[in-house]
Amino acid sequence: MTVDYEAAFKHMPGAVALLSPELVILDVSNGYLDAAGRGPEKMIGRHILEAFPENPIDPDDTGPRDLRASLETVLATGEPDFLNPTRYDVEDAAHPGEFEQRYWAVANMPVCTSDGSVCMIIHMAQEVTPLVHQVDASNC
C-alpha cells in the first residue's frame, strides 16, 4: 500500500503549517485554514510574519516577536521549541485592519536533512483563548 502523505498532512488533526528555513509558509493543513479563518492563497508562499502581521495598534501584542524567537531557536539549534500560551492577535479576514485578541499554544519542530541542517519547520498552533479567559475569570 502506498501512503498519500499529502492527503494525510491535509487531514491531520489540529492546525499545522510547514515552513521553509526562511520562514515562508510552504503548506498548511485544513485545520490551520480553519484556525486562521482564511484561504491558502493568503498564506502559502508568504513569510509567516507577513501572513500574520503584528497588531499595529497594540504594542502589548508580543506574539509575533515570541514566534520569531521560537522559530529562530529551532533554526539555530535543530531542536524543537515550545511557546506557553502566547497572545498573538489575528487580523479579522472579514475586516482588514481589525485584529482579534487570541492566545495560542505553539510547538515548532525541525525537519532535518542527513547532515543535521533544518530543511523545514513543522509549526503547530492550538488556539487556547477560551482556556486563558476561563483562567483569568477564575482568578478574579
Domain CATH number, residue 115: 3.30.450.20
The whole domain housing 92 covers 5-138
Q: Give the pLDDT confidence score for residue 137 in this predicted structure.
A: 65
> Helix (H, G, I), strand (E, B), or coil: what is residue 62?
coil
Compute the CA torsion angle 37, 42, 44, 49 (nearest 10 deg). Answer: -90
Digit-coded pLDDT (tens) for 77-88: 999 999 999 999
Please tell me the distance from the alpha carbon of residue 28 to that of residue 39, in angstroms, as a whole number. Answer: 10
* pTM of the entire predicted model: 0.90
Q: Which pLDDT tens digit goes with each residue over 79-127?
A: 999 999 999 998 887 888 889 999 999 999 999 999 999 999 999 999 9
Q: Counting beta carbons within 10 angstroms of the beta carbon of residue 101, is it exposed (0 to 12), middle (13 to 18) or buried (19 or more)? A: middle
- Number of separate domains in the chain: 1
- Higher-pLDDT residue of 74 and 84 is 74
